[in-house]
Amino acid sequence: MYLSKFVVTLGWIYLSFVGIATSVQSQLVQPSLKLTRLILIDAIKIKNPLEVYFEEVGNQNIVNPKEAFLSNVIIDTLLIEPYSDDWVNDFITNMLVIKERSLAANEWLQIDHLIEDSVSGQVQLFLTIQARDNGKKLDNSIPKSSIDGVLGVVPIEDSRWMIVGDLVLQIPELWKVNQALDFTFTRSDIDYTSTSLSFQQPINKRFYMNGHIELEQRDSIYQQSVLGMTGRWLANPNHRYNMSIAFENSSSSKRVQSYLDSYQGIFIQLGIFQQFTVKDWNLASHLDFSSTYQKSKQTKSQLIGRNTQWVHSLHLETVIESPKTGIGFIHLSQVYDRVWAKELPWTYAIVFGGAKTLPGFYERQFDAQWVFRIKSSYVIPLKDSDIWEFFVVAAHFKNFASRSEGFTTKQTLWSTGFSYTFETDFGNIQLALATPLWSIYSGSKLHLNVVR
């Protein structure tokens, strides 16, 4: 009798221990992940996603580039299955057999986007079939995160060195499709540094909001910070419109005889971008018009100038490319920049010169109130992304008003040269050699440029 009670007691203790252990284990073990959506796209057939999509649906105004892959989707399914490599591999293998789409020896499955929600335990998986072509070049039809640019050091006085560079970090799909994060850093010389950070949030397929912050320093004296927001509407891939509003804060590290070297302002900008194809000629135009209300932060004591003012600026850029002529094509571009203001602040000075604006001259060598630049070139594309370009460039501009006698307020500059653009793991790099023509400036310049 006593033995049976002892056995019963042990049994109750054992069952209690098992129950407690099971309860604790259930609290510690995370719920298994469930695969809720799986998309597989055949990226091998896609050269220009937008053109492929337009040909098949009749030139509809679809903006989201991912929708260009509709005709190449192998799998797009909603499901609730345990998420594991073995299950995904078996499922995709079976679907490829059903679709009669076998993988070649140089093809593989690539994960392009993975959305994992640890709270709900749901996973969305986006895959593409990728391959290498004869030139061993990856198909980059789908946007990828990247960091590219040039970073280096140059000597300055007293045996010191200075970091210079032009870097860009781009994450085109941060947490979801069309949500993007961009970071830029530029330092061309000891007197100029700028950096910016922007975040893009999609509202719908055609409308995006972008928040950005920019920091800039010029001539080791002036500093500016900009905090703004931009709304961008994509009417179609060839037409987009944007409106920006920003708060500007400018200051200088020394006393200057102007109210508006240190100011706060409200900036508003409207922009239009359009591109067309007319009888195999490619045409593109970009127009920005902005207005800024500025108010000085300085006291009025012993300062000369305006306390408030409006500043208006215009940027117009057009590009024309001819059909193939011989082994290349003709590229023509013009840029017109102008600023209207009673007193022109340093932040709105049109600064140009160097690889991107006027080859054959130093970086940021000139500044003006208005400038017209034109470039004519013959471009010879090679394999992959390599390009030879032979060009002639001109700039006609008006300097700031000066009290110096004999100072020429208008100038015209010419230069000619050639460039070679080649692809690296850090982006497309351009080497350009150019020399000034018919001016007091002499000496050829070798430019290193990051092409985007």
**What CATH number did the domain enclosing 40 receive?**
3.10.20
With a CB cutoff of 8 Å and minimum separation 6, the contacts of 351 are 364, 366, 367
Tokens at residue 341, please?
A: 């203001």
For residue 376, pLDDT over 90 is answered with: yes
Containing 38, the helix (H) or strand (E) segment is: strand 34-42
208 and 331 fall within a common domain: yes
**CA 178/CA 200 separation, integer angstroms:** 8
- As a whole number, mean pLDDT of residues 218-229 equals 83
166 and 312 fall within a common domain: yes
247 and 191 fall within a common domain: yes
- As a whole number, mean pLDDT of residues 222-231 equals 90
**Sequence letter at residue 245:** I
Domain ends where: 336, 363, 396?
336
171 and 120 fall within a common domain: no
Residue 16 lies in a domain: no
- As a whole number, mean pLDDT of residues 352-373 equals 87
Domain ends where: 336, 369, 386?
336
Q: What pLDDT, on a 0 to 100 scale, did the predictor assign at position 136?
A: 40
Q: What pLDDT, on a 0 to 100 scale, did the predictor assign at position 66?
A: 43
Q: What pLDDT, on a 0 to 100 scale, did the predictor assign at position 245?
A: 94
Residue keyed to tokens 């221990």: 17
269 and 355 fall within a common domain: no
For residue 98, pLDDT over 80 is answered with: no
With a CB cutoff of 8 Å and minimum separation 6, the contacts of 330 are 321, 322, 376, 377, 378, 379
241 and 366 fall within a common domain: no
Going by C-alpha positions, the residue among 245, 244, 248 that lies closest to residue 271 is 244
pLDDT tens figures, 45-87: 554 443 333 333 343 333 344 444 455 777 777 777 777 777 7
Q: Can you give the pTM of this predicted structure?
A: 0.62
Residue 288 lies in a domain: yes
| Mean of the per-residue pLDDT values of the chain | 76
**Sequence letter at residue 337:** D
Residue 57 lies in a domain: yes
290 and 402 fall within a common domain: no
Q: Which residue has the higher pLDDT, 28 or 433?
A: 433
Total of domains in the chain: 3
254 close to 221: Cβ distance less than 8 angstroms: yes
Domain that holds residue 388: 349-452
Residue 298 maps to which CATH number?
A: 2.40.160.50
Q: What pLDDT, on a 0 to 100 scale, did the predictor assign at position 61?
A: 35
DSSP string, 401-449: ---STT--SEEEEEEEEEEEEEEETTEEEEEEEEEEESSS----EEEEE
206 and 159 fall within a common domain: yes
With a CB cutoff of 8 Å and minimum separation 6, the contacts of 270 are 241, 242, 243, 288, 289, 290
Domain ends where: 306, 336, 366?
336
Our CA angle for 76, 127, 115, nearest 5°, is 85
Instruction: Average the pLDDT over each of 130-139, 153-162, 170-179, 258-267 and give the range with the smallest value.
Output: 130-139
**Sign of the torsion formed by the C-alpha atoms of 355, 361, 365 and 368:** negative
451 close to 430: Cβ distance less than 8 angstroms: yes
107 and 158 fall within a common domain: no
181 and 313 fall within a common domain: yes
Containing 217, the helix (H) or strand (E) segment is: strand 207-218
The model's confidence at residue 206, banded by pLDDT at 50, 70 and 90, is confident
Q: Which residue has the higher pLDDT, 8 or 116?
A: 116
- As a whole number, mean pLDDT of residues 110-136 equals 71
Q: What pLDDT, on a 0 to 100 scale, did the predictor assign at position 266?
A: 93
**CA 205/CA 207 separation, integer angstroms:** 6
Tokens at residue 358, please?
A: 């006027």
The model's confidence at residue 293, banded by pLDDT at 50, 70 and 90, is very high
For residue 108, pLDDT over 50 is answered with: yes
40: left (phi over 0), alpha (psi -120 to 50) or beta: beta
379 close to 329: Cβ distance less than 8 angstroms: yes
314 and 357 fall within a common domain: no
Residue 18 lies in a domain: no
Tokens at residue 239, please?
A: 């037409």
253 close to 223: Cβ distance less than 8 angstroms: yes
**CA 389/CA 434 separation, integer angstroms:** 11
Q: Which long-range contacts (CB under 8 A, 24 or more apart) does 198-204 make?
A: 199/174, 202/176, 202/177, 202/178
For residue 219, pLDDT over 90 is answered with: no
The model's confidence at residue 223, banded by pLDDT at 50, 70 and 90, is confident
Tokens at residue 378, please?
A: 């013959």
Residue 7 lies in a domain: no
150 and 280 fall within a common domain: yes
Tokens at residue 185, please?
A: 């850093």
Residue 247 lies in a domain: yes
Residue 291 lies in a domain: yes
Q: What pLDDT, on a 0 to 100 scale, did the predictor assign at position 304?
A: 62
Q: Which residue has the higher pLDDT, 246 or 165?
A: 246
Residue 26 lies in a domain: no
**CA 139/CA 136 separation, integer angstroms:** 10
**CA 363/CA 416 separation, integer angstroms:** 16
